[in-house]
Structure 1
């Protein structure tokens, strides 16, 4: 079907070979898979999803519903690639999807004979008895389009580019280029993105004049001027989504075998020049191969030198097809124009067209145009509203959206007249509305009869406009049919919701370079080398590589620290500074307890909550001076707390009165804990009185170490007298050596995280995410003061007073004492309650250890009504084994807290 000459988009000197469904074919550089198949005379390129009917190429862009392929080339694999947007490459292997063994010989084609037994909604009605589960595996095996190669792995990953500009123009057609030119001449920075292979839109294949010049000449001069003005034009770049604050996401495909480049652009102004999509006409058997969009046929003729038929019939409800008819007559085709089509003859391809008068017209191609639908998907994603236009027979943008302007065909500015042509009643033979999902006018009528009158219900009941099509060619025809069948106007019927992405985007566009180690890189301590020299065994905790233990006898390690002194690297603890006159107010809003009343030099423990009132993190806050606080959050939540504070600063406060600075990486922190910790630190000659009077628990002081600053905090996670000593990272190794050297005189032990977990569990101290879950509220931990006493607002406050939050059977934090003489309970073991012979879970173990200090197992857990169950013996079950435990106080060691002030 290739003409001997012509085709402005191909290079005939560069011939390419490819395979389709196992058969070899040839094309030219500049071809798409679709144009090359058309040129080769291939009519059936796929099978419809439900009935497996033969399908041919309909369009030439992302609106194509039928030509969906599995594509492989030199290790590159893309399932569900559109043939109309996939460039031809030498050696490309293309296979049709949803067909076995191939599109022309699909063995499931027999399903079409049973169409009357499988109408819209038949799944819901047919497979309920005896059970859906019996049929589900087989149905799911047949569902979906395409298959994933489980052995395939990408050889490259997407780049992510963040950019901004004054004006972002989406669409490089006539309107888009004019808008870009006007903005650039006005001195603004402009970026143009277009999903086509070259800028120009319809100027590339329609005969038009612009500003007195021929379209080709105007396009060349305009592109040259845009280049001189520094305008960036990105072809093969699809703007697939507009998100909050006018963030536009763009997938740019530079090479077929490379993943898309992911662009995130924040322009000051968005101009949508996205054009319009030609709709099909609805008539019996309108899905036969050889029936295609009139505009697309003209595109293939002029861009690729492909004449889609020799005997062509053109049916249209508008005058845009006059140029199409003339163009095909010029290249020798026999062209017949009709006002409407009654039916089509031919089983696997068009053989004849029956016009409105019953005349049979021999044909091998039927080109149709049912009008144009403005491409308003991005506009609607930006929360734009639509209005129905009878004059244009289309939905057009209604009101302007701030920062977004719609122009050209996307705004309904068509150059042609159109007379609406809708399906008003179901035909005797099936007439297709959605080619990809096999939705006919009969399906729409059935939905209307069964009272699925909402457009959203229609979409879900019939699958109209789902899958990769997203209603581009089917939406308006389907809405018009529903309107006719329910006795409403199209405006009253409304339209469905357009959501991103506008068109399917390769998953590789979202991967970027953050995969494997780069996805969540392990963070390393400044003192890792020193810890390894000290015999540390490392593990990952909260994203940090930290010493788990120094002695394989963790019990002994914990006991030595409890009885003498232990040295622990606490550098990953958060050190987020909040600075400014409103710092206290911000932290009050962010936290469960108030800190604005805290005095300089003092420290306060507190919780932060999510909006649902559940505990997000805990930690301590030190007041450095009147306008400066230091938030010490848990090591795994540093980034989250920092971002959260910054969000609150920007949303609720005057940013000029507040600053947030994450100083975690600047300071190294070593904790000295145990009864001998004060003596060890005194031996370093820090020049600071470490006594209880001068330096009470929950306070901080500055001192000097090797001529530089050192910050000491009297806080404890072990329940013993403890000091957190923080120095700049550059002094970390010196401090570590000094503590080890001085500690030798006190038999100090290096303390790993596993031993520390035992010490904190003995005291009943919680670890967020381990002893809490996403439902734990502060009063479940026994912390009720702020909820009952605070009258000001804070994050999560309202949620603490909901009916759910005040349920009596909430799981509460508690201790569990072993009563059966056995070893430690299994972490995760369930507490069970037996009611009328059945057992149910009333909670579970969150932490469990053998305590070397008190010489018996201890456990912490979340148990229903734990406060009221104190002293009660309950059953604990794990993997079939049943144990006994007593609900007890969480603190199993030194409940008076005397050792904190030893």
Structure 2
């Protein structure tokens, strides 16, 4: 006999609302509230999937994210959910559910013959087998066999998953008894508490085990917790998987309900109450359908009325299996306890002392061998102990300790910025777990943690002396013999074991297998469990749909460009927009050919004045007594010697000495700098500054704020720049070139910086974004009076190319160092440390064939050189010496100009080089990069 539905049990289902879905072509009946797992159990379905390598039949094991077997393909209407755990998916009327890794069905899988070849497919066979022939011979076959599910390209994922950022005082992860106690205690102190629970209800194991908290039914305690948390401004998220722990108290969570949301939560304090996972029991053929977690059977019976079978053997080594046996017996199931303890307690349920040695059956369990005797049964339930769920703890940097008295790995205090309570901390007693959670929520030290005791009477371990295959990883088909083979072949490190055997690399992230693999490796290598070590846990805690992480960032919203505050004004002036560095910016203004218009705008700016919107340039406030030290360490050019009221150009390097970004640093006060970055590198520069701030300078000595989008910067450039500002009613401070000052505009401060990206007299005028339109109107009114115009970025790029100013990523590549650009001074003079310094003195960095920035000039009347053209020698083999990085026609010089990275470029100045492009070879003269005003006479207007 297999699974069936109890007539009265099932508090989570509504029997007045029946539903029906199909599984592998067969109709399955259920009720509203059912999960796919509970409906399949109650319908008698045993084979729900096939294992990955050998295609052995697999049935349901667990009740949540730990489920390794029942991974299904689910369709409902236009929705498609590949690789869905049956334990976490609500059953809905009309669903089409199919098994994965099987054809045509899980029950009749044609690939089941793979199991006959298991002797020839041990752990690591792929490392030894797929080397005899070229990889292209094996790849098509392996790709057809690999993977558990298939993505249907015709099913578009939902695009309405909201991305929500939030913060709280206390984040409680898990709403079992310890979690709700912690949340209630914290909320009663006035804290904003967020309680996140993966299931649809609060209570954890209390929902099926029952119990009282503080002398009252647990349901009343949970209801009071909900009321107090919400009244204090907190939030309770059910059906929400907290899947990742990240730096600075930030977490990611996926809410599966309606509406579906992806949360980014930052908390001041975090309490982890994630519970524990029941371990399997290991015996021969312990993977057969019908072998199931005892706690999962208890869960499905009480909440859904789904019983796993009629004749059950329950293997256990502690009293935690006793309530399961009693509940099944009361439901009419014939239960026999197989108690491994030497001195078990009589609990009124038939009992056999010993352990299960083997399970038998072709498509599922029909009997078991216990103490050498065959016992008929249709289900084997395993209560092999508890493993604390500490994935989130480890993701946050937490370490683990081995507690032999409790036979479990427990969190090492102080190694992660969170408090662990309840079963996650190894506290399994209800009263103690509640006290543990309450103490954490109240921010007092727990006084009732379990005291160390002697090791348990019996602990389950994989037993090499038993005949037959004992399965460690159910999804990836790793056996005890595979672990032994890995040790024999030298892969005894747990990380090597993981990769050599694929142990713990399945979609359940080793929840049911890691502990067994660790203990088995410790046994076969004669080491202790602490000496053997543990694997590394990384996000996500369980699989999360990419649609949840992506949210609406697709199509036109994928990496959507940032927008200018003055976009409407620019459009009204006839601007044509293009994306530059992640920003939508004016390319040119007015009608006509874009190239021609850009040249006219550039010429107007050189002769009179041009105004352009420079708001996208990064603006990072760096403030504090350690600000100068931070910028010296992260920059190539020393900034601590910069005087207040002045600006200096510099570079930021990678650790390999490569130019990452360039920009201007403004010193506004002794302890206040403004770092102006490339528009596309704002976030990258901020992250690099932040890393150095935390690791070297100290968090309390300097603070970094990105104020880029809080200010609008309009640049006035050209010989009539001063005159135009005066006509616009802007009183300019008396500033030298690279000077910074302040004036008043509309009653608010305006920052004025005399910095030029064009080679002409220029003023950068920066005001808060709410004054952007007023500044625009002032300048727009004054422009015609001096014969100027608005210029787009295409004109700005012409002006900067005439001057030989670079764009990072365009005039540099992944090998460019600052001395390649003519900036060798700091490299030779600076004696202090800075990022990238060591790499600037490697043999490669000092080689005599480095590509250096130069200019190129062709004969008057020749066409513009194509950007990307290769540079080759006048004679000899056609070998690339470099390439053209920027090229345009200069309306000021009335001829084409170009910038290039050329091997030994500076030594070639005055000579010639061949330019090769699309089969055509032309000759060009190598010049200095600066083609316009090399003495800088135009900077004063």
Normalising by structure 2, report the TM-score. 0.85
Q: Please name the residue that 1:729 is paired with.
A: 772
Distance 2:567 2:168 in 1: 44
Of 350, 355, 362, which aligns to 1:340?
Answer: 355
Q: Please name the residue that 1:593 is paired with.
A: 637
CA-CA distance at 1:795 after TM superposition: 4.9
| C-alpha spacing 1:116/1:570, structure 2 compared with 1 (3 Å) | same
Which has the larger displacement, 172-181 or 137-146? 172-181
Q: Please name the residue that 1:322 is paired with.
A: 322
Q: What whole-Å deviation, never above 9, does each CA across 1:343-375 have from its counterpart, x for those lacking one?
A: 232211112222231x22222212223222222
Distance 1:700 1:545 in 2: 28
Q: What whole-Å deviation, never above 9, does each CA across 1:308-364 have from its counterpart, x for those lacking one?
A: 11122222333432333333222222333333223232211112222231x222222
Q: Please name the residue that 2:523 is paired with.
A: 484
Contact 1:645-1:660 within 8 A present in 2 as well = no
RMSD over aligned Cα, in angstroms?
A: 3.5
2:810 matches 1:770: yes
Distance 1:21 1:897 in 2: 78
Q: Please name the residue that 1:570 is paired with.
A: 613
Map of 1:846-865 to 2, 5 A cutoff?
A: 846-865=885-904
CA-CA distance at 1:437 after TM superposition: 0.5
Map of 1:323-472 to 2, 5 A cutoff?
A: 323-338=323-338, 339-357=354-372, 359-401=373-415, 403-414=417-428, 419-425=458-464, 428-472=467-511
CA-CA distance at 1:856 after TM superposition: 4.0
CA-CA distance at 1:17 after TM superposition: 1.8
Which has the larger displacement, 714-723 or 876-885? 876-885
Distance 1:208 1:437 in 2: 38
Which has the larger displacement, 624-633 or 366-375? 624-633
Of 617, 624, 635, which aligns to 2:661?
Answer: 617
In the comparison of the two structures, how many residue pairs are matched? 885
Secondary structure at 1:133's aligned position in 2? helix
Contact 2:398-2:416 within 8 A present in 1 as well = no
Secondary structure at 2:306's aligned position in 1? coil
| C-alpha spacing 1:829/1:901, structure 2 compared with 1 (3 Å) | same
Q: Please name the residue that 2:650 is paired with.
A: 606
Q: Please name the residue that 2:793 is paired with.
A: 753
Distance 1:815 1:350 in 2: 80
Distance 1:118 1:602 in 2: 70
Map of 1:742-821 to 2, 5 A cutoff?
A: 742-744=785-787, 748=788, 750-797=790-837, 799-801=839-841, 805-818=845-858
Distance 2:620 2:420 in 1: 45
Contact 2:601-2:790 within 8 A present in 1 as well = no
CA-CA distance at 1:190 after TM superposition: 3.7
CA-CA distance at 1:286 after TM superposition: 1.4
Contact 1:554-1:754 within 8 A present in 2 as well = no
Q: What whole-Å deviation, never above 9, does each CA across 1:665-723 have from its counterpart, x for those lacking one?
A: 544414232x555666676676779xxxx765444566788998776654332323444
Q: Please name the residue that 1:225 is paired with.
A: 224
Which has the larger displacement, 17-26 or 729-738? 729-738
| C-alpha spacing 1:621/1:135, structure 2 compared with 1 (3 Å) | same
| C-alpha spacing 1:734/1:60, structure 2 compared with 1 (3 Å) | closer
| C-alpha spacing 1:883/1:114, structure 2 compared with 1 (3 Å) | farther
Contact 1:426-1:445 within 8 A present in 2 as well = no
| C-alpha spacing 1:893/1:74, structure 2 compared with 1 (3 Å) | same
Contact 2:163-2:263 within 8 A present in 1 as well = yes
Contact 1:875-1:882 within 8 A present in 2 as well = yes
CA-CA distance at 1:58 after TM superposition: 0.7
Distance 2:684 2:75 in 1: 41
Q: What whole-Å deviation, never above 9, does each CA across 1:65-118 have from its counterpart, x for those lacking one?
A: 001111222333221111011112222222211112221122222222222222
Distance 2:257 2:847 in 1: 57
Distance 1:367 1:695 in 2: 83
Of 12, 20, 23, which aligns to 1:20?
Answer: 23
Secondary structure at 2:140's aligned position in 1? helix
2:707 matches 1:662: yes
Q: What whole-Å deviation, never above 9, does each CA across 1:284-304 have from its counterpart, x for those lacking one?
A: 221111111122112222111
Q: What whole-Å deviation, never above 9, does each CA across 1:375-411 have from its counterpart, x for those lacking one?
A: 2222222333223333433322344446433333222
CA-CA distance at 1:850 after TM superposition: 3.1
| C-alpha spacing 1:179/1:634, structure 2 compared with 1 (3 Å) | closer
Map of 1:639-658 to 2, 5 A cutoff?
A: 652=697
Contact 2:725-2:779 within 8 A present in 1 as well = no
2:175 matches 1:136: no
Q: Please name the residue that 2:539 is paired with.
A: 500
Contact 2:213-2:221 within 8 A present in 1 as well = no
| C-alpha spacing 1:21/1:165, structure 2 compared with 1 (3 Å) | same
Q: What whole-Å deviation, never above 9, does each CA across 1:30-52 have from its counterpart, x for those lacking one?
A: 21100000001111111111111
Which has the larger displacement, 422-431 or 767-776? 422-431
Distance 2:744 2:184 in 1: 64
Secondary structure at 1:151's aligned position in 2? coil
Distance 1:499 1:387 in 2: 19
Distance 1:695 1:399 in 2: 58
User: For structure 1, which runs of at least 5 residues remain unmatched after alignment?
Assistant: none
Distance 2:857 2:205 in 1: 78
Secondary structure at 1:66's aligned position in 2? coil
Secondary structure at 1:540's aligned position in 2? strand
Q: Please name the residue that 1:671 is paired with.
A: 716
Contact 1:525-1:571 within 8 A present in 2 as well = no
Contact 2:61-2:69 within 8 A present in 1 as well = yes
Distance 1:297 1:657 in 2: 56
Q: Please name the residue that 2:927 is paired with.
A: 888
Contact 1:15-1:26 within 8 A present in 2 as well = yes
Contact 2:49-2:101 within 8 A present in 1 as well = yes
2:53 matches 1:50: yes
Which has the larger displacement, 477-486 or 390-399? 390-399
| C-alpha spacing 1:817/1:408, structure 2 compared with 1 (3 Å) | same
Distance 2:605 2:759 in 1: 9
Q: What whole-Å deviation, never above 9, does each CA across 1:590-624 have from its counterpart, x for those lacking one?
A: 54334454456544333334455433333334555
Distance 1:325 1:707 in 2: 79
Contact 2:644-2:670 within 8 A present in 1 as well = yes
CA-CA distance at 1:209 after TM superposition: 5.8
Q: Please name the residue that 2:80 is paired with.
A: 77
Distance 1:701 1:179 in 2: 54
| C-alpha spacing 1:872/1:40, structure 2 compared with 1 (3 Å) | farther
